[in-house]
Structure 1
Amino acid sequence: MLLRPVEPGDAASFCEAQWRSREQRAPWEPQRDMEWYDPDFQTARFRELRSSDNLVPWVLIADDRVIGTATLSNIVGGAWRSGDLGYWVDVAEVGRGLASATVAAVCEIADTELLLHRIAASTKPDNTASQRVLAKNGFEQYGFARNYLHINGSWGDNNLYQRILNDRAPGEPPT
């Protein structure tokens, strides 16, 4: 497996994995229009994502195809030094530890390259698989938010998680 920044050329493979996983992902994702599965739409979206200064999108690659993604969004510097984590793995690859490995890799990059202090994540209360991934990676639940995200057609509650990556001064590199 390889975790690397998303590239516009990943769009077709991404769309194939998203289409294959659409039913499995539906309870955990916003409702998607058909354009979501269009490589041209995703190519443009990937270009936009790569140009953002507060977001880092990665793809998980195996056998030259996209089998998942991870994103750190809402990245804030200064005294906050935090970002929000999102991730998914292709339904055909679930159960192999890839989500846990991906989250571990993102945490390492966030700590040593992005110099973040904290990563936040959220899950619906019944998403026990994602909660296990977060727990394996040192995340702890710190809260609960009512009507937090509009997922699968309705506003839903979420458990809130965080992982403190380090206790360094803001922006200080690891020693």
Structure 2
Amino acid sequence: MIIDGVEMRGLELGDAAGLAEAVERNRAYMKPYEPVRSEAFYTERGQLERIEGMLADRDGGRLVPWVFVETGGVGAVIGVINLGSIALGPLCSGGVGYWVDAAWHGKGLATAALEEVCRVAREEVGLHRVEAQTLLDNVASQRVLRKVGFEECGMAPRYLHIDGAWRDHRLFQRLLHDDPPVA
């Protein structure tokens, strides 16, 4: 899928160098929204190991990972979006997480990508619901979620260890359909 000069495609092993550059470039910006990371996380080797784990989860049916890459020119990696924690059976649910390079904010990329992830979750994975969580003050991400039809469904105290402390999160969900689970 191409959105205004950006391709959203499946994550590949060859994305390690580009992801390392992207996470380093956005390191200061992402710090308040991320767990404390080791220095290795910001290296090509660290990203390669992370991608290998993600692709193993993909092959096990637990994760669908995508990367955002500029089309034309440099072809820089400018973010990711993942549909993870996939559970089928009577739950039929998954969680979405994403980040977009600070230089690309406000261009509708996250909104369009999230809409596509919800389509894939329903039509290809067979999910009933997609969940998301944000820090209480992450208004930009909450706005994206609401634009795509997510509804706030609660608050989780001390939900994730972010930027060195347990942080409260707003919980969101989007119900995709009410069909029974596929047997």
Structures share fold, TM-score greater than 0.5: yes
Percent of aligned positions that are identical: 45
2:16 is the counterpart of 1:5:
no
Give the residue type in structure 2 aligned to 1:68.
G
RMSD across aligned positions (CA):
1.1
Q: Distance in 2 between matches of 1:149 and 1:48?
A: 21
Length-normalised TM-score, structure 2: 0.91
Task: Kindly indicate whether residue 104 of structure 2 is the aligned counterpart of residue 93 of structure 1.
Answer: yes
- One-letter code aligned to 1:15: A
CA–CA distance in 2 between the matches of 1:120 and 1:135? 12
Aligned residues: 172
**1:53-105: CA deviations, max 9, x gaps?**
21121111113221110111111000100001100001121111111111111
In structure 1, the gaps of 5 or more residues are none
How far is 1:44 from its partner? 2.1
2:132 maps to 1:121: yes
Task: Quote the Cα distance in structure 2 between the aligned partners of 1:143 and 1:20.
Answer: 33
**Cα deviation, residue 125, structure 1:** 0.8
Q: SS state of the match for residue 79, structure 1? A: coil
AA in 2 matched with 1:13: G
1:148 matched to 2:159: yes
- Give the partner amino acid of 1:115: G
1:119-147 Cα shifts (integer Å, max 9, x gaps): 00000110000000000000000000100
Please state if 1:22 is matched with 2:27: yes
| 1:79 lines up with 2:90 in the alignment | yes
Q: State the alpha-carbon separation in 2 of the partners of residues 171 and 42 from structure 1.
A: 35
The match for 1:61 among 48, 69, 72 is 69
Alpha-carbon contact 1:8-1:44 (below 8 Å) kept: no
Deviation at 1:171, TM superposition (A): 2.8
**2:62 corresponds to 1:51:** no
Normalising by structure 1, report the TM-score: 0.95
- Larger mean CA deviation between 138-147 and 55-64 belongs to 55-64
Question: Using the alignment, how far apart are the partners of 1:171 and 1:121 within structure 2?
Answer: 23
SS for the counterpart of 2:69 is strand
8 Å Cα contact 1:8-1:42 kept in structure 2: no
Give, in whole Å, the separation in 2 of the partners of 1:129 and 1:163.
17
- How far apart, CA to CA, are the structure 2 residues paired with 1:41 and 1:24? 19
Q: Distance in 2 between matches of 1:14 and 1:83?
A: 24
